[in-house]
Amino acid sequence: MKAVVYDRPGSYAIAEVPVPEPGPGEVLLKVLVAGVCGTDLHIHEGEFGPSYPLTPGHEFVGEVAVLGEGVDQVTLGDRVAVDNTASCGRCVECRRARPAFCRSLVAQGVNAPGGFAEYVVTDANRCFVVNDLEAEVAVFAEPAACVVHGLDVLNLRSGASVLLVGAGPTGLLLTQLLAASGANPLTVAAPSEHKLRLAAARGADRTVRIARGDDLQGLLRPLTDDQGFDVVIDATGSLDVLEHAIPLTRTGGTVFVYGMAGESARLPISPYDVFRRELTVKGSFAQQYSFDRSLQALRTGRIGTDGLITHRFPLDDYGAALDAVRDSASIKTVIVP
């Protein structure tokens, strides 16, 4: 079978490798579609803890092709979305209900074979049957689960004014669930008019076009009568945005770091400002106990995915898929093996 295989950061090949065989409790999936996201760009650069050799791809939907011994959770031919992480359940973080920080975490596409391949083996108990969803809808289950967990961490108060910076795939998922969670008003700021139109159609009360180097305080703070927003969310990972987050947050408000910045990035902040204005700074990492809720949101239409996939590539064009993710004109890029 074909698979993307890295031997070190930045170095990969589209290789012919043996089709893996499922062990007890595992299934072999024929990959139908796999999402490519900003995290994959970080993994490409050797960030986010990759192990080599590595086949990346942590957002994938497949069809059950072979059942391992003892599997009864799924049947042959089922379409499934996969929670790509497996925690040990015994370490100190697992015992504190934080499985994403498990000391022995197995994360497919990061330190175990992922979905940028024609076939992949995974645990049957991490498969969610999605025969009722199209594969290109179900592929949003993992990023939507991350957003659901993010809102768990944020613990948004109904009626809070929210500024969301970024209208990529994550920003547009956040827009929909923030609107449904009571953000009022919800302001979305981004450089692309097209993406802002999508945000407006998905629940944003107002949108603001911004560009690199803009005076974000001058553009956005007046929208709040110079009080600032209750919550400021960065969904870009850009230090240029994060530097404005605290000044845009009102007294007693929350800065929410959702976008993934580079591991070496550093942000200067004023501890006195955080202290004096009783600000809260939160972050959200991956997804925890939220996969089923993300699928429910996709099933009910609370999260709509129409028009979000803008680029589709075969495995042989993996490099072009990475380039598409880097291109701000794209929204969601997928691999279709």
Hunting for tokens 């974000």 — which residue is that?
Answer: 216
Q: pLDDT confidence of 212, banded at 50, 70, 90?
A: confident
- Tell me the whole-structure pTM to 2 decimals: 0.96
- The fraction of the chain above a pLDDT of 70, given in percent, is 100
Say if residue 143 is preceded by a cis peptide, omega within 30 of 0.
no
Give SS3 for 141: helix
Tell me: pLDDT of 316 over 90.
yes
Task: Locate the domains of the chain by residue range.
Answer: 2-140+305-335, 147-283
Say what the pLDDT of residue 328 is: 87
Q: What are the residue ranges of helices labelled H in 46-204?
A: 92-95, 135-138, 141-154, 169-180, 193-201
Contact (Cβ atoms closer than 8 angstroms) between residue 337 and residue 315: yes
Give CA–CA dist 85/149, Å, rounded.
14
Instruction: Give pLDDT tens digits for 101-119.
Output: 999 999 999 999 999 999 9
Give SS3 for 47: coil
Residues in the chain: 337
Say what the pLDDT of residue 270 is: 93
Q: What is the CATH number of domain 2-140+305-335?
A: 3.90.180.10
Mean pLDDT of 290-315: 97
Say what the pLDDT of residue 329 is: 87
Q: What is the CATH number of domain 147-283?
A: 3.40.50.720
Which residues touch 3 (CB under 8 Å, ≥6 apart)? 14, 15, 17, 55, 113, 116, 117, 118, 315
Contact (Cβ atoms closer than 8 angstroms) between residue 195 and residue 332: no
Tell me which H or E stretch contains 319: helix 318-326
Report which of 259, 222, 264 is spatially closest to residue 241, judged by C-alpha positions.
259
Mean pLDDT of 51-65: 98
Amino acid, single-letter form, for residue 101? F
Say what the pLDDT of residue 297 is: 98
